[in-house]
């Protein structure tokens, strides 16, 4: 089955932002008296808000005010980004240029609100490479449910089976795989775990290595 589209997550794949989310989730949690650690923040990466809220309440108890902590995280991160910006991942622009030059349709599938995603990507002149942008706010259920990848493929006018999905987090990989995409992990803060490996077509050694995987997939049948 020919690959005609690429659907990419943003945080941790295109932008080097996951480390900031982890940092400021922890700081926001501690601000409200919850001993939030890196492992807790990692467990909710790319996760739909209702699921993330339930998960953190399961860890810290029903007194955990998810919306208050999240709002504080947004406040802290926005302040940091305004002063320091967010770096793009190595090879991001080169990969996106390669995709457009080779006729791939390109979509963004992100948990980040659309106006913020647009602002972050435009700061690196990357927004122009995406044919469509789908955020969690545009679907009924966010990651790890398949909805966001199904929506992105639909907006590209393609079957999910004709799309490669680029993801860095377990929740995102589960979302892309369950949608039927050819799922490729681009590791950031996680290495592929034993429960994730069966969901993957491959693991890229950075964004520059995605080109190799796409070339291998050209005109091949994906079983």
Same domain, 62 and 106: no
Same domain, 93 and 107: yes
The whole-number pLDDT of residue 219 equals 60
Same domain, 95 and 69: no
Q: What is the mean pLDDT of residues 47-56?
A: 93
Same domain, 192 and 111: yes
95 pLDDT above the threshold of 90: yes
Q: Residue 194: how many CB atoms within 10 A of its CB?
A: 6
Same domain, 43 and 128: no
- Number of folded domains in the chain? 2
> pTM of the prediction?
0.91
The whole-number pLDDT of residue 182 equals 98
204 pLDDT above the threshold of 70: yes
Q: Residue 156: how many CB atoms within 10 A of its CB?
A: 22
pLDDT tens-place string over residues 103-154: 999 999 999 999 999 999 999 999 999 999 999 999 999 999 999 999 999 9
Q: Does residue 222 sit within a domain?
A: no
Q: Which domain holds residue 144?
A: 5-16+88-217
Q: Does residue 223 sit within a domain?
A: no
Q: Residue 208: how many CB atoms within 10 A of its CB?
A: 14
């Amino acid at each position: 089955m020919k690959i005609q589209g690429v659907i990419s997550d943003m945080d941790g794949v295109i932008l080097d932002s996951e480390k900031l989310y982890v940092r400021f989730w922890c700081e926001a949690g501690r601000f409200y008296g919850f001993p939030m650690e890196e492992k807790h923040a990692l467990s909710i990466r790319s996760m739909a808000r209702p699921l993330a809220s339930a998960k953190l309440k399961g860890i810290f108890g029903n007194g955990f005010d998810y919306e208050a902590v999240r709002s504080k995280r947004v406040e802290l991160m926005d302040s940091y980004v305004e002063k320091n910006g967010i770096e793009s991942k190595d090879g991001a622009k080169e990969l996106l240029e390669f995709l457009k030059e080779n006729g791939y349709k390109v979509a963004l599938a992100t948990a980040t609100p659309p106006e913020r995603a647009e602002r972050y990507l435009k700061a690196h002149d990357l927004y122009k490479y995406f044919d469509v942008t789908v955020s969690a706010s545009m679907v009924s259920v966010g990651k790890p449910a398949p909805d966001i990848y199904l929506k992105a493929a639909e907006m590209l006018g393609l079957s999910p089976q004709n799309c490669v999905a680029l993801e860095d987090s377990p929740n995102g990989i589960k979302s892309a795989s369950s949608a039927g995409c050819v799922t490729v992990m681009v590791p950031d803060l996680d290495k592929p775990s034993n429960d994730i490996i069966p969901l993957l077509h491959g693991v890229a050694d950075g964004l520059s290595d995605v080109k190799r995987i796409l070339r291998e997939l050209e005109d091949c049948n994906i079983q």
